[in-house]
Structure 1
Amino acid sequence: MWIGALVLCHLLMVADLQSSNPQNCSLTCLRQGGPGCHYCRINSDEVDKVLGLKYKGTLGSCIPWPCFQLLGEEDPRLCQHFVQAPHDINIESVPSSDPNLDSVVVSWKPSQYGIEFLRGFQVSLQSLGGSGFACQLFLFQPNLTLSASHAQTVYKSDMFSGLSLGSDYAVTVMALPVPEKWEKFYHSKIFSTRSCEEKNGFLQCKADWYPKYVAVQQKEAVVVVTFNLAPPIMGITSYFCICRANGKTTSRDIIPNLSRNKTHHSFALEDLEEGSNYTCEIAANQVDAVRKVFNVYVKKQESTLGHHNFPYWSLAFLFVFAAAIIFVVILVLRMRKRDTQTKKRIIQPEIMIKHHEDETAKKEEIVPLCGNRKTPPTLLICYSRCDGPAHMDAVMKLASFIQQHMATKVSLDRWDSLEMSKEGQMAWYCRHIRDSDFILVVCSGGLCQRPLPSPQGVPKNMSEMSCEATLHSEVMVRLVGEEVGRAISGGEDLSKYMTATFDYSEEKDVPMELRPVVRYKLTADLPLLFSRLHQVPLHSPGRYVSIKYISDEEFTEMPAGQALQQAISKAKKAMTGLPQKQDVRLKIPE
């Protein structure tokens, strides 16, 4: 008796470790229940044969209610039951030849509730914050009945390839058949693909490299910093170092001599204040390079005056000499005062006017901006996705520059894709339009496009579906336009709403709904945008506000400003190569 129980326990343990990979079989073999057709992948060609039309698109081989379409013709009762959602979903990265892309395989276990009616699975993968979508369909034989012990079997999908490195995705595993009134037939999981460093190694990813070894030594008044250089295979030849303390910033470019040492380099930090604690950053002179942060404390130099014993006659001599200097200064001041009183009697009126103008000019001074807010202002940036990735990259670089160097908290849909996927695009935009202090709409040619209806019955291709995914631009313009119209009709202030164009956009790219609000031309109007965000005048009688690294001449001195300038230049080249705006048509089903 106990021997039989041991055998049964062993069989259950083997079932726990059993895994099932998809089989390459036809739909005919699956329906007839032939050998080797127990757990089959269904490709798009098989689906085309059943439906009688070319069902191409992002859904691939997945169709709504596949059980009824593919297995319900001979016996409709096969698809009238329900099974509960799969569980224990795992995502495993698999090797791929492309170093810039990742590949994964999804595995899961079926639920034991209703497993005897299980007909297959449908696995879909969605890119968070993007339009990428892939789907795979797997079916069992109609005459196959699973028992409760098969709930420990691990089922696997085919490989999902072409995934971006370091990106977020959501995978959904659905149990078939799907009932009409049941909410627990699928299970979703969010995961991230491997980073460049995880897949290819640290030495093959320039964007992830940063100096790991930094040593600081002080020799008298000079601070010497030693750091490790990037491997020669990366081609990095220059670096930069920035130090901040007491409201002051010092920066230095570093170009090491690789012929002397290819592994380490030392340089001196000068013009540092004694007794100050500096926070420094060092990185490769590349766009968006990772920075290594380290601290430098500049020691005070001890004075050598106290180590010598001066004789008393020397102190007396110094005292007499100082008294003589004071006497001479007082005498000179008294003589100048007498000369001034004499000249007042013969001074001319035109000299008085000139003197008054000179005094007025002297009162004009550069004053630093003193923030009078406890929290930075919030800014929502809206834009069009119909103008290509180069334009979207320019918008992202603009948002990064505003948040880093203009003391403003920026909200951007591509930075908050996970929250947007939970709330929905319209709910996310409505909440930020309501809660943000300011709204900036970056206008371009794609923002003024309007969708045209496509002929009925014509399927959508990939480009049309991609363009439909960006229809939120038109809805976003209407939402902001309604708020502007409501403010105008109520006599409210319009300072919350702003529009901006890059130098490759035109005046006509601003939608009619947004033309009543203030308009900026970037990057020339960055100081005006800063003035609006912080509610401070740039000029006042005798004074003007100077904001470092914000003007059109100085913003490229910072890495974020250089990245913004390069992104605008690339977008300008890409936009000039696009077809005319009136030829670009968006189609949506009627």
Structure 2
Amino acid sequence: VQSDADGGPRLAVTLRADNCSINYPLGKHVIHEVANVSFSHLACEDQAAVIVHWSASPLGIEHIKGFRVYLEDKNPEGKQCQHLLLKDPRQLNCSYKNTRLSSQTFSGLTFDTDYMVRVVPFPTLMNESFFPPSFLRTNSCEVLLGSDNLVCKPYWKPKTLNVSQLGSNLHVAFDQAPSSFGFHFYFLYYKLRQEGPFRQQRCKPDVNQYRTTCILKDVTPGTYTVELRDDSNTTRRQTQYHVVLDLWEHLEMCKEGQMSWLSRQLDESDFIITICSKGLRYYVEKKSRRGKTPVGRRSNSCSSSSSPIGGSGSDLFIVGVAMIAEKLRLANQSEGAGSQELQRYMTVYFDYSTENDIPTMLSLAP
């Protein structure tokens, strides 16, 4: 990292980047905090980036062997570090007190976000917390990339997206984006969960309607992933749904067994959201106690019942809640990966309900 002098004789310092995970020993001398901290803002791969500049203090400058530069936002896990060693010259002196030193580029930052920066000279007798931090706010996307850049376009997703099945066709209906977005077409990308590439269906919005309906014709039975994108694919995220077509999935349930099918659905899901209400708690905590067959003894195959799920719909629902509760219990007892597993589960309730409507067995869910 090359640096320049700020007035006076033109002196240069070259810093070499090294592994920041290495713990350097405490020094025997006091080194004062750096001065004249400033920042250069730039864009790197359509994201914000920053270079940190500073000057070494003349107090203890001859003992400096390098600098550590930390940058972090409110999330401690996103902390970045650079370990910079003196390469040329090997030792500084007071002649370098006005020399401007620079870090490497800190990239992958979020636009228009506050960050804290701390520059620590080493080896020093003082703890890193002794050196005061500096603060910066990254520039906006429009400033760094220009207001016409597609990356700076606001993110949009429909408030509602409904999928219905009519025969062998899927009808996907969703709210249209405001006209200011200038979307001329939407693309539906869909595939069976076990398939590789997505298939594409182009949909032209009806300018006289608030909603658009796309029809996917003659789709193969199974569980689908459906993504909605705009015609230029400029939305930075896509609206994505996993859709289980129950009439077709019924055949898989008969072949695989209800318990196995339910367990597989829970294992393959990214998130499991249980919508709670007074009725849910009633079914789970009241009806399941009235002499019903224990969950472990229930049939694992489809019966000849006229119910589309091969038995009582409420029974299978109670089984599903019980399986979720068991998975929550196991995740809570596990160390390490258990906390990450718990994050897959969520319980929510309606506006007219309260937290008391969440079944006790689901209390471990966030």
Q: TM-score, normalised by structure 2?
A: 0.43
Rg larger for: 1
Larger helix percent: 1
Q: TM-score, normalised by structure 1?
A: 0.28
Larger strand percent: 2
